[in-house]
Amino acid sequence: MSYSFPDGLAHLPLWRAFLAVHTTGSLSAAARSMGVTQPTVSAQLQALEHLVGEQLFLRGARGVLATPRADELAARIAGPFHALASALAGDEDVTVQPAVRIGGALELLSEVVVPSLSDDVARGVRIHVTPGPTTSLVEGVRAGILDAAIVSERPRGRSVLARPFVDETFVLVASPEVARAVASRPALPAALDTTPLLAYAPDLPVLRRFWRHVFGSRLEREPSLVVPDLRALRDAAVSGAGATVLPSYLCRAALNRGDLVDLCPTDDPPINTLFTVTRHTAAERPNVQRVLGVLMGRVKEVIADEAAS
């Protein structure tokens, strides 16, 4: 990438248009959010694509679809860009704007999303957080109850805008004591036949998926502990209750401390793609833009880093 100015700041209007299109998924919606015409946004986007040397969006009847390169760029610049916008609009009173209402899985909200939003909350941005399953979160966005949500399945229909957000990976873990006992037995997965399994639900959905993907076998076991909270399963595993499968972002710190052991290191772990779901008018509110910037920046970075660790 080459610029007339080394710092690239001369092209901020192009990047602003890029982020608006990436957030809304539509040239017309991006134009409305910026207070300009659609041809203006289209021209800015074409100029940016010429600048970076590749196409960033695929045009279609339903709007535009971001390319992997566009998702990568958005993840890198959304947070810093919105921080810069906030600094330049220093006299903006964020406290008079409506609360930003976001939803997601309770564990993801608690462990990653809420801590990442602390600076904005300290500045006066009001944020209401709602945990729940994918179906109810998507319906909440459709009904206007939520401004945005992070969900584990792409919703159908055109009433909301869904974009791939980040891939979360899963790890089979247990305490060091349980790991030593497993290591003394025959090879996995048979070595786990007498190890208590800690599950999110009675049908062991996460565990079954790991067994099928990594071991190529069907898991036929009854769980010893069922708790619909992955953080509780993590704590139970740390205490030596048994083995469980967790998203990497939930167990990386415990693994680094030695409180948990990865029982089956693999270069091909199960992956689950998370999606952001918003209304098409989400980018029209500055505070919603600010929160979406954090999601596409810091939150995505944390989950991706944990997956790569």
User: Cα dihedral angle (124, 133, 75, 77), rounded to 10 degrees?
Assistant: -20
- The pLDDT of residue 60 is 72
Residue 167 pairs in a beta bridge with 273
Token pair for residue 194? 């007498």
Q: Provide the whole-model pTM.
A: 0.70
- The pLDDT of residue 307 is 59
Look at strands 148-151 and 100-104 and give their pairing: parallel
CB 189 within 8 A of CB 212: no
CB 62 within 8 A of CB 68: no
> Which segments of the chain have a pLDDT < 70?
1-9, 61-62, 79, 82-83, 85-96, 282-284, 305-309
Token pair for residue 149? 């949500």
Domains and CATH numbers, the chain: 1-66 (1.10.10.10), 168-271 (3.40.190.10)
* Rounded CA separation 135/166 (Å): 19
- The pLDDT of residue 308 is 58
For 42-60, write each residue's pLDDT tens digit: 999 999 998 889 999 888 7
- The pLDDT of residue 213 is 96
* Rounded CA separation 210/204 (Å): 10
- The pLDDT of residue 143 is 85
Give DSSP secondary structure letters for the chain. ---SSTT-GGGHHHHHHHHHHHHHS-HHHHHHHHTS-HHHHHHHHHHHHHHHTS--EEEETTEEEE-HHHHHHHHHHHHHHHHHHHHHTTT--GGGSPPEEEEE-HHHIIIIIHHHTHHHHHHT--EEEEE--HHHHHHHHHTTS-SEEEESSPPPSSSSEEEEEEEEEEEEEE-HHHHHHHHTSSSTTGGGTTS-BEESSTT-HHHHHHIIIII-S------SEE-S-HHHHHHHHHTTS-BEEEEHHHHHHHHHHTSSEESS--SS--EEEEEEEE-TTGGGSHHHHHHHHHIIIIIHHHHHHHHH-
* Rounded CA separation 45/26 (Å): 12
